[in-house]
Every structure is written in structure tokens, then in C-alpha cells.
Amino acid sequence: LGILIKNGEALEMSEKVTTIVFDKTGTLTKGKPEVTDILGVGVNDAMVLQMAASVETNSLHPLAKAVVEKAQEHHLSLEKSIGFDTFAGKGVQATVKGTEVLIGNRVLFKEREVSWPKEVEEMLVQLEAEGKTVVFIGFNQKLVGLIGIADTLKETTKSSIQKFKAMGLKIVMITGDNVRTAQAIARQIGIDVVRAEVLPQEKASE
């Protein structure tokens, strides 16, 4: 079945398990995110995607790959970026054609004190309620767009979780995603306990 049992003790301990904590991306989901929405804010959608992909081409993150693939689908030429920097679990930054491009999550943009109007917040809430991860795009400290990205569940996820619950096990999902997106996905699966907005280095201690 492709299961490696580390040692006899691990097998003996398995009957004492009360709780299973699952990571989301690539474990409960396929780990192949796809861009579903591009929403420019005062900037056209193509420009948002092109500039974002020009920065994300430097990154190996699954969300970054999804953005680059979408730009390639639209036959957008990627520009050269300089000064690429990454912020673990939050986003990335680089300069493209003299514009400082910031790409990341809500936490990063709040840290940088980048604000957005009420109508953008409404679009954002809608995307998150659909279980999509929203990537924020900023040019020179100003929000210019949102990119919605969806990662589909593995076909076996729901039935596996149901079987674990039938065994009386408590199931927890842990993710770096924001709370609204995480809860929407957890509802689809049937998971009641969610730990969201957890940075990669904090997952083990959580």
C-alpha cells in the first residue's frame, strides 16, 4: 500500500492514537493549485498577472507555479525581476521595470500597512468563502489586484476522514491558509477542528 512503518514501537503506539493532524496542501488536496480568478484593482487583469508571474518565476512554491502557468496560458511575456526576496509563509517581493512588486497573503500586506477599500474586501471574502487561497498583488505599496487559487481535494480524502471519524478519532487540519478559506475546505471534507494561518516553522509545535 506504499506505507512505511518505521519500527515495531510505532505500530504498537498506533492503537493509542486519539487525534490525527493533517497538513492541507498536498495531503488532503492534490497539491496542484490552479488560478481561478484574476481581479485587477485600478490596473488591468493582464498587467496584474504578468507582473506577478514575472516575480513568481523565481519561486518554487506551488502557488507561484500556478501563477506562472496561468501567465504562460495567456501567452504573456515575463519581465526580468531584480532583488527577489522571500518571506516564509507570507509572500515574496522583487522589482520589475522599476516597480516594487509585493505578492503575498493578508498577513504580509497588513504588516506592510497596505490598505484596500471596502469593495475589495467584499471580493476577497467571496473568494475565501469559496475555499480559494487569495494572493494579494501590490505595486509600490499599493494594492492593485487579487489572484484566486484553488487546489482540488484528493478523491480519497472525504471517505478517509469519514472512516477515521467512525473509529472515534479526532481530526484536525493545519494550514498556512487564512481562516475563512481553511474553514470552507474543512467543511467540504467534514473536518471540525482547523488551525489556520500557521507559519511553516510553527506547524510542528502547533
Return the pLDDT at 89.
84
Return the pLDDT at 25.
87
Please identify which of the residues 23, 37, 151, 177 carries the catalytic annotation.
23
Q: 94-104: per-residue pLDDT in tens?
A: 999 999 999 99
pLDDT above 90 (res 171): yes
pLDDT above 90 (res 88): no
DSSP codes, 140-200: TTEEEEEEEEE-PBPTTHHHHHHHHHHTT-EEEEE-SS-HHHHHHHHHHHT--EEE-S--G
124-132: average pLDDT = 93
Tell me the pLDDT band of 200, cut-offs 50, 70 and 90.
confident
197-204: average pLDDT = 90
Rounded (5°) CA angle 131-126-76: 80
pTM above 0.85, yes or no: no
Q: 20-40: per-residue pLDDT in tens?
A: 999 998 899 998 999 999 999
Return the pLDDT at 2.
92
Task: Map residue 38 onto helix, strand or coil.
Answer: strand
Q: Is 23 a catalytic residue?
A: yes
175-184: average pLDDT = 91
Return the pLDDT at 31.
87
